[in-house]
C-alpha cells in the first residue's frame, strides 16, 4: 500500500501519485501517522463516491480534531474515478458519521425545481 502524507490518503499499489495534490506517494499507510490510535480500533464511515467529497469531509473532521484518513479505490481515470472510504477511531464514530452525513451531497430529487415556486 502507498499513501500521500500531505492528503492522508491511502492508495492501491498500482497508483504512484496522489490524485488530489499530484504529490508522490510513499510506502505504508496514512494510518501510521496516528500512533495514539490502536490498529484495531479504526472503522469506516459511509462510503463516498468521489475523492473530492472525501477530502471535504476529511477537512471537516480535522477541524473537529478527529483522527481520520482516506482509503481511495481506483475505478477508472481521473480524480472522479476514485471512490473513497474515510476511517476514524471507533470511539468517535458516531460524531464523525454525523459530520459526514451533514455534508452529504443532495439526492437527485432535491435538485429538481418546483414548478409551483414563485421564483421558478
Q: Is residue 119 assigned to a domain?
A: no
pLDDT tens per residue across span 33-89: 888 888 779 999 999 888 888 999 999 999 999 999 999 987 665 545 778 999 999
Task: Quote the pLDDT of residue 120.
Answer: 41
Residue 79 belongs to some domain of the structure:
yes
In a domain, 117, yes or no: no
Q: Which structural domain, as residue segments, surrounds residue 39?
A: 2-111
Reported as a single tens digit per residue, the pLDDT across 75-91 is: 665 545 778 999 999 99
pTM for this entry: 0.78
Residue at 120 is within a domain: no
| Residues 6+ away with beta carbon under 8 Å from 7 | 18, 20, 21, 23, 55, 70
Does residue 10 have a pLDDT over 70? yes
pLDDT band at 26 (very low <50, low <70, confident <90, very high): very high
Question: Is residue 118 in a domain?
Answer: no
Q: Does a structural domain hold residue 94?
A: yes
Q: Is residue 87 part of a domain?
A: yes
Burial of 85 (0-12, 13-18, 19+ CB in 10 A): middle
Q: Which CATH number is 73's domain given? A: 3.30.70
* Residue position matching grid coordinates 468517535: 92
Number of domains in the chain: 1
Pairing status of strand 9-11 against strand 69-74: parallel
Cα distance between residue 10 and residue 1, in whole Å: 7
Amino acid at each position: 500500500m502507498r499513501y500521500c502524507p500531505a492528503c492522508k490518503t491511502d492508495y492501491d499499489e498500482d497508483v504512484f501519485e496522489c490524485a488530489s495534490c499530484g504529490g508522490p506517494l510513499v510506502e505504508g499507510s496514512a494510518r501510521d501517522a496516528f500512533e495514539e490510535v490502536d490498529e484495531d480500533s479504526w472503522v469506516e464511515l459511509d462510503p463516498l463516491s468521489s475523492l473530492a467529497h472525501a477530502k471535504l469531509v476529511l477537512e471537516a473532521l480535522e477541524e473537529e480534531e478527529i483522527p481520520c484518513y482516506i482509503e481511495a479505490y481506483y475505478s477508472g481515470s481521473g480524480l472522479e474515478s476514485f471512490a473513497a472510504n474515510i476511517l476514524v477511531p471507533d470511539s468517535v464514530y458516531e460524531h464523525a458519521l454525523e459530520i459526514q452525513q451533514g455534508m452529504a451531497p443532495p439526492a437527485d430529487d432535491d435538485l429538481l425545481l418546483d414548478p409551483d415556486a414563485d421564483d421558478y
